[in-house]
Amino acid sequence: MKIERLKLTNFRNYQNLEIEFKKNINLIIGDNGQGKTNILESIYILSLTKSNRSGIEENLIKFDEEIAKIEGMVKSDEILKKQEICLTKTKKQLFINNKEIRRSREYISNFCVISFTPQDLEIVKGSPQDRRNMLNIDISQLKNNYITYLNEYNQVIKMRNEYLKRMNINGNSDPRYLEVINANMIEKAIKIYEYRYAFFEKINEILPNIYKKITGLSNLSLIYNNSIHVDTFDNEEIKKKFVSKLKKNLNIELIQGMTLIGPHRDDFSFSLNGIDMKTFASQGQQRMAVIALKIAEIYLFNKEKGEYPVLLLDDIFSEIDIKKRNKIIKFLKDDIQSIITTTDINDIDDELLDNSQIYVVKNNRVTKKGRINNGRRKGDK
Ligand SMILES: Nc1ncnc2c1ncn2[C@@H]1O[C@H](COP(=O)(O)OP(=O)(O)O)[C@@H](O)[C@H]1O
Ligand SMILES: [Mg+2]
């Protein structure tokens, strides 16, 4: 997949911006606060309809403006399409080839991105929710039904939690009704589990090898810690355990007014030689594990979809030593389009620089630079 052109109108600090991207490596250079991340963010939203940055969605619109627009000419399966997202303070519209798309699942997965940000690098020690979000986003790009299942499941959970609260207050509830909700919840949960188990299984076929190539160490894998404690995907086994756990938890769920098990409580951990990296790994080691995971996802994506997603790398090279950086760059094959930001051109290795299209961001404008040595003096490293 590729993004050939991006046009921003009143998005963040850009009133009007048009960029053409090269089909392999694109390097965006600029000082802090100039709007590098904003460009990557817009591409991320163009793909996934939501930002990967926290904060109020309204702030995506340029201050004092009413409507923001992100337009991109994107290519997938050799077909060029125009994708467009239009944001006002109260609504968001999605378009493909000028036709409005009302369901996000029909929009997402046409054009996919894998993004690396400094925050992603902290995911090993981050909250379960952060890891779950990452998992959900990545699977939803691989399988477009996933979002539908997730939404349906979340609706049941919401309903169930409301009912639990009501039961607790009124006391005169109908247990048969709760059983109906439970059956519905389990049915929806199983669909999500099916995708998640498959994801972990496939990732674990690729991940150890990639981690080894970067760090020299083997045996990195992801451990899926699901809240019903079933090791492999087995429909009947999951149902059985789910039902018995729900029974066991009922009293405490009533008190808390929420559902304590299910896909919305799942987690996963990074395991190196069988030990959870959260407990012992240095920050550097944890970051390498996340990078290896993201690279593994890119390869998995290619395996499943027959093409690579677009890679968005936000200012991560400054945090990685030069030897590892070189190893990571080796994974950036010619047929992967990447868009990389950095504040310091000296963080970028010669080989990467030689092969990149360079853009400089300054004063809300982006200018294309010619070949290297524009930004770096001879002999600089
Ligand atoms: N809604 C907005 N309207 C105008 N400017 C914005 C808006 N949101 C963020 N900005 C500006 O964007 C800049 C930060 O851009 P960012 O892409 O994070 O920079 P960096 O180059 O450091 O990655 C800041 O100067 C901020 O004021
Ligand atoms: Mg930034």
pLDDT at 330: 83
Question: Ligand 1, from 9, 10, 12, 61: best to mutate by most atoms within 8 Å of Cβ?
Answer: 12
Say if ligand 1 is within 6 A of residue 34 CB.
yes
| CB neighbour burial string for 29-66, b if at least 16 within 10 angstroms, e if fewer | bbeeebbbbbbbbbbbbbbbeeebbeeeeeebbbeeee
Compute the distance between CA of residue 83 and CA of residue 66 in angstroms, rounded to an integer.
Answer: 20
What spacing in Å lies between the alpha carbon of 164 and ligand 1's midpoint? 43
Write out the chain's pLDDT in tens, 381 residues: 999 999 999 999 999 999 999 999 999 999 999 999 999 999 999 999 999 998 899 999 999 999 999 999 999 999 999 999 999 999 999 999 999 999 888 898 889 999 999 888 889 999 999 999 999 999 999 998 999 999 999 999 999 999 999 888 887 677 789 999 999 999 999 999 999 999 999 999 999 999 999 999 889 999 999 989 888 899 999 999 999 999 999 999 999 999 999 999 999 999 999 999 999 999 989 999 999 999 999 999 999 999 999 999 999 887 788 888 888 888 887 889 999 999 988 888 887 888 889 999 999 999 998 765 545 544 444
Find residue 94's DSSP bridge partners. 85, 101
Say if ligand 1 is within 6 A of residue 87 CB.
no
What spacing in Å lies between the alpha carbon of 366 and ligand 1's midpoint? 14
pLDDT at 328: 86
pLDDT at 331: 84
pLDDT at 332: 80
The DSSP output letter for 263 is: G
Compute the distance between CA of residue 121 and CA of residue 297 in angstroms, rounded to an integer.
Answer: 15
Compute the distance between CA of residue 127 and CA of residue 133 in angstroms, rounded to an integer.
Answer: 10
Provide the residue type at 258 as one letter: M
Q: How many residues does the chain have?
A: 381
What spacing in Å lies between the alpha carbon of 291 and ligand 2's midpoint? 18
CB 50 within 8 Å of CB 108 = no
Compute the distance between CA of residue 349 and CA of residue 321 in angstroms, rounded to an integer.
Answer: 11
Q: Which domains does the chain have, with CATH numbers?
A: 1-112+309-381 (3.40.50.300), 124-306 (1.20.1050.90)
Q: Considering every ligand atom shown, identify the ligand nearest to the alpha carbon of residue 35 and give its number.
A: 1
What spacing in Å lies between the alpha carbon of 48 and ligand 1's midpoint? 20
pLDDT at 373: 54
Question: Ligand 1, from 10, 38, 61, 315: best to mutate by most atoms within 8 Å of Cβ?
Answer: 38
CB 18 within 8 Å of CB 5 = yes
Compute the distance between CA of residue 315 and CA of residue 296 in angstroms, rounded to an integer.
Answer: 20
Q: Considering every ligand atom shown, identify the ligand nearest to the alpha carbon of residue 44 and give its number.
A: 1
What spacing in Å lies between the alpha carbon of 312 and ligand 2's midpoint? 12
Q: Which residues touch 238 (CB under 8 Å, ≥6 apart)? A: 186, 189, 190, 193, 228, 230
Cα torsion angle, 187, 191, 192, 194, sign? positive
pLDDT at 271: 97
Pick the residue whose CA is nearest to atom 9 on ligand 1.
12
Question: Ligand 1, from 27, 34, 87, 341: best to mutate by most atoms within 8 Å of Cβ?
Answer: 34
pLDDT at 376: 53
SS3 70: strand
